Amino acid sequence: MALFLILTAATYNYAAPAINLNANVVTLDEYTLCTFLPRTVGGDIGASESDAIAFCSQDNPKSPGANMIPPGFIQTWHYATGEGYVQFTGTIDPTAYGLSKTDGGGQYDNQGGGSPPGASCGGYEKFVNLIEPDIGYFCIRCCSDASLCETGHSTDGCQSIVPGNYT
């Protein structure tokens, strides 16, 4: 058995509000990785923090409305867990979603009202998700111990905020 990290969200459009922005961790037979990305191909990560949408590695009923992660976007991914958290870390090819290799990235989280608003990680108090196109890293951590999900230091980057395997 493996763990799924699932962000659920309705596909955003301006005519209808989001149904759900919830990341869930459930036991299933294989990995499903989800992350937030800009709603449009080639969008800027930092500028999309208020209206990002969920993308997942495969369809899952716990992720209604989530888009599929573009083929080739996730290059490597590693699952890890510890006392009070679960996480995925790895590398991306930003060009697979048209992201600029000069985009310094940004952070999605549920601090305050959330970025995007209403975002959460099912069953966990807090989450943090960074995408760093300029260095090719992504990370997401969901925490039952809120102190293990740093959200006030996004410029420190994935390796600092979510230590893990980035190979």
Please state the domain extents for the chain.
Answer: 2-161
More confident residue, 53 or 23: 53
Between CA 166 and CA 142, with CA 110 as vertex, the angle to 5 degrees is 45
Label residue 31 by pLDDT band (50, 70, 90): low
Average pLDDT of 29-35?
A: 68
Spatial distance between the Cα atoms of 104 and 17, rounded to a whole number of angstroms: 29
Label residue 53 by pLDDT band (50, 70, 90): confident
More confident residue, 59 or 111: 111
pLDDT value, residue 103 = 97
Q: What's CA 121's distance to the chain center, in Å?
A: 10
Spatial distance between the Cα atoms of 61 and 80, rounded to a whole number of angstroms: 23
pLDDT value, residue 14 = 25
Label residue 118 by pLDDT band (50, 70, 90): confident
Does the structure show a pLDDT above 70 at 29? no
* Chain segment 141-158, per-residue pLDDT in tens: 989 999 999 998 888 999
* Chain segment 56-110, per-residue pLDDT in tens: 887 766 667 778 899 999 999 998 989 999 899 999 999 999 999 999 999 999 9
Tell me if 80 sits within 8 A of 165, measured CB to CB. Answer: yes
Does the structure show a pLDDT above 80 at 25? no
pTM of the model: 0.84
Q: Both tokens of residue 34?
A: 């989800």
Does the structure show a pLDDT above 60 at 6? no
